[in-house]
Amino acid sequence: MSNLFGKLIAQLKSKEFRQYLMSTHFWGPVANWGIPLAAIADIQKDPSIISGKMTLALSIYSLMFMRFAWRVQPRNLLLFACHITNEAAQLTQLARFVNYHYIAKVPEQKNKNAK
């Protein structure tokens, strides 16, 4: 166990790791994490405030950048993880939007028409 810990410390002290921490390959995805974190936080909010157009745009954006993160050399797995998380969060929000505006409202509208 001590040997494994020593190797981890040596890796963290390496020149390559320091260069990685100072690159856009690291800071780009770190900055990008704000989008999926905001979407996850919004899951607790009222679905009436969800923008269907923006949610769909963010979903398509994440799909495209997941492919980019996988295809770029060297692969950017941090960016890939960010966008796969965002894709899941945006699809959840899109499902909430559709449910609120198109599925849950239908019985309510029928009741209004019957009166």
Are the C-beta atoms of 36 and 85 separated by less than 8 Å? yes
What ranges in 1-115 are assigned the alpha helix state H? 2-13, 15-21, 24-32, 34-42, 52-71, 77-98, 105-114
DSSP 33: T
Single out the residue of 83, 78, 82, 81 nearest to residue 26, CA to CA.
78
User: pTM to 2 decimals?
Assistant: 0.77
How far CA 53 is from CA of 44, 81, 93, 97, in Å, comes to 20, 23, 11, 10
Sketch the domain layout of the chain as residue ranges: 33-113
pLDDT tens for the chain, 115 residues: list them: 778 888 888 888 888 888 888 888 889 899 999 999 999 999 999 999 999 999 999 999 999 999 999 999 989 999 999 999 999 999 999 999 999 999 986 555 555 555 5
